[in-house]
Amino acid sequence: MERIKVRLAWTLTILVFFFILAAARTGYIQVLRGEHYARKALAGETIGVALEDFARGRILDRHSRPLTGSYSANRIVVFPDLLENPDATALSLSAVLGADFFTVRNMLAGKNPVVLPFNLTGGQLRLIRESGWEGVVAVPYSFRYGPRPLAAHVVGHLGKIRDLRELEELNRSGKKAYRLSDWVGRQGLEHYYENELKGMYDSGFAGLFTDALGKPLPGKQVLVNTRLGDFTRSDVITTIDADIQEMVERVMDRHIKKGAVVVMDRSTGDILAMASRPNYNPDPAGGGLASAAAESFVNQAVSLFQPGSIFKVVVAAAALSEGTAGPDTLFFCRGSLEKPVRCWKEEGHGQITLAEAFAQSCNPVFVKIGLELGPHRLISYARSLGLDNQGIIGYPAAADRRQELDLIAGRHNLVNSSLGQGPVLATPVQVTAMVNTVANGGIYLQPRLVMEVRPARGDPRGIRPGDPVRALSPEVARQLGEMMVMVTRRGVGQKAWASPGGTAGKTGSAELADGVEFVNAWFSGYGPLDNPRYTVTVLVREGVSGGETAAPVFREIMEDLLAGKDR
């Protein structure tokens, strides 16, 4: 009897265990995966079209505005299987749209539903909806790209999956399921956040219910749902301010054929604008991707260039910090007679202080200081100011290994390195962070480009700013700041002075090669002077000089920023 009770107890325990497993599985399917299976069932029972061109999350500015210019517009969707007389329908549509009959007729020639690529006026929309034509509906359609997408090099672009091998790799390594017809991120944030951005389902749908053979059920109307949503995709929130980005790009289109501009929030290190030229249109439908030159896809704001005299910020910071020279320390410049590097001023500056040499960008003085400091102290201060750190918070691009500060200590490199030439390389973003350290009282802030990943369902994942790091003493930062004001008030950077509020900064003119007339022209600075809000770096490739080419562009951008500082 006792053995029977034990067996019954074990049998009951096993039954309860399997019942719990079945209940858990049912709950998982109905609750956690219910929407997934409902979507699959809907897809299997209907034929239709998505009411969006790309099933992806959005890439937004800091105020949640789409950088790609996403918008919604009414479009006509036609279901050829429901057309009793395709020619008559095409004729009626072409009359309403003012389009060529044969063009419209060819669009209706297939079996699959088609979205007609015609913009609708209010009157055309009303005529279509009042016509009652079977198989023809006018619905809202979402477009990822507007007529003027912003920050193309930050956002990146999409491309079709190339082949079965890439499809297998995506399905093996990613968290999402891919089909050969899918679009994937190729560059920029579209690439780095592919797993977060990719959607598994359409957010809107127009379709017909079908029978087991895939034929439309008789008597059924077109099903339109613009509120399906997609819980699998996320939006990426950047630190970019779309208003500032648009302004910067307008200025660049007027003045810069090749180069970069970076705008940083002085107090946080957030990148408010990042633009590169030459530019390209990331919209696959615009045809610009196929025709753009290879250089157009290079984000020059994160590319390495010799900074030229911008590097004198590092040399001056080292001299002031180490006590080898102060702002009033006297030097003597003999102009073209100086060795090993002559001064740009033929007759020389004569007796000149460090502060004046900084303002006038006197090369012989900085060669003397660099030789006295030695390579290792220069390397140390360059590192403190972020010139070995290409990292941007939220933008996981691989570092360019050509940047190697230890090369400053190489044989015969110290002289050129003291002038920001030779092995010294930096990106415009790094230069911005370095100058921002001066504006910030000696506190280095690592640049940040993405502030949040916001899923359609669930809690957002914030990407916090980096910890502030004391790179320079407050006194050294103050002295450098005063020297930068001298650059814009009476030095070689006077064309960078912006009103109201005033600006401070440093020019740079990096030689391209022996015998080449042009230089890479730099200006990096901040403003307004009483309470700096913005740090801006301008790089104009193949310019005349930093003071002549980059400084005026800096002034125009800074004056626009200061005029709209309450935005």
Q: Looking at the domain assignment, is residue 166 inside a domain? A: no
Dist CA 459 CA 453 (whole Å): 9
Give the whole-angstrom CA distance, residue 152 versus residue 299: 9
Q: How far is CA 418 from CA 374, 379, 402, in A?
A: 10, 10, 18
State how far the alpha carbon of 93 is from the alpha carbons of 80, 132, 338, 351, in Å.
13, 12, 79, 82
Give the E-state strand segments of 278-355 in sequence order: 330-333, 350-353
Give me 199's structure tokens. 């959607």
Angstrom distance (rounded) from CA 316 to CA 329: 12
The one-digit pLDDT tens for each residue of the chain (567 residues) are: 666 666 666 766 676 666 666 555 655 555 544 454 445 445 556 788 999 999 999 999 999 999 999 999 999 999 988 888 999 999 999 999 999 999 999 999 988 899 999 999 999 999 998 888 888 999 999 999 999 999 999 999 999 999 999 999 999 987 899 999 999 999 999 999 999 999 999 989 888 877 666 676 666 678 888 888 899 999 999 999 999 999 999 999 999 999 999 999 999 999 999 999 999 999 998 777 888 899 999 999 999 999 999 999 999 999 999 999 999 999 999 999 989 998 988 899 999 999 999 999 999 999 999 999 999 999 999 999 999 999 999 999 999 999 999 999 999 999 999 999 999 999 999 999 999 999 999 999 999 999 999 999 999 999 999 999 999 999 999 999 999 999 999 999 999 999 989 999 999 999 887 667 899 999 999 999 999 999 999 999 999 999 999 999 999 999 999 987 544
CA–CA separation, 242 and 193 (whole Å): 20
Kindly state whether residue 140 falls inside one of the protein's structural domains.
Answer: no
Write down the pLDDT at residue 33. 46
**Amino acid 21: pLDDT:** 67
User: Cα angle at 107 between 102 and 113, to 5 degrees?
Assistant: 155
**114 assigned to some structural domain:** no
Name residue, tokens 């297998």: 168
What length is written for the chain? 567
Q: Transcribe 502-550 into DSSP letters.
A: --EEEEEEEE-STT---EEEEEEEEE-SSS--EEEEEEEEEES-IIIII
The amino acid present at 368, given as its one-letter code, is: K
Q: For the chain, give the longest Cα–Cα distance.
A: 117
pLDDT value at residue 402: 96
pLDDT for res 101 = 94
In a domain, 302, yes or no: yes
Distance CA 69, CA 59 (A): 10
Residue 179 inside a domain? The answer is no
Q: Quote the CA–CA distance of 132 and 220 in Å, as a whole number.
A: 14
Please give the tally of structural domains in the chain. Answer: 1
What's the order of all strands across the beta sheet hosting 71-78?
A: 114-116, 71-78, 136-143
Kindly state whether residue 341 falls inside one of the protein's structural domains. yes
- Does 382 fall in a domain? yes
Q: Is residue 181 part of a domain?
A: no
Written as one letter, the residue type at 375 is: P
What's 304's domain CATH number? 3.40.710.10
Q: What are phi and psi of 167, to 5 degrees?
A: -60, -45
Task: Quote the domain boundaries for residue 514.
Answer: 242-523+534-563
Please, which residues bridge with residue 216 across strands?
A: 210
Q: Is 287 exposed, middle or buried (0-12, 13-18, 19+ CB in 10 A)?
A: exposed
Residue from 385, 320, 319, 348 nearest 524 by CA: 385
Q: How many angstroms separate the CA atoms of 523 and 357, rounded? A: 17
Q: What's the pLDDT score for residue 45?
A: 65
Output the six-digit token pair for 2: 């006792």
Q: Is 221 helix (H, G, I), strand (E, B) or coil?
A: coil
CB proximity list for 28: less than 8 A, separation 6 or greater? none
Looking up tokens 């309470």 gives: 531
| Predicted local confidence at residue 324, as pLDDT | 96
Q: What is the pTM (predicted TM-score) of this model?
A: 0.89
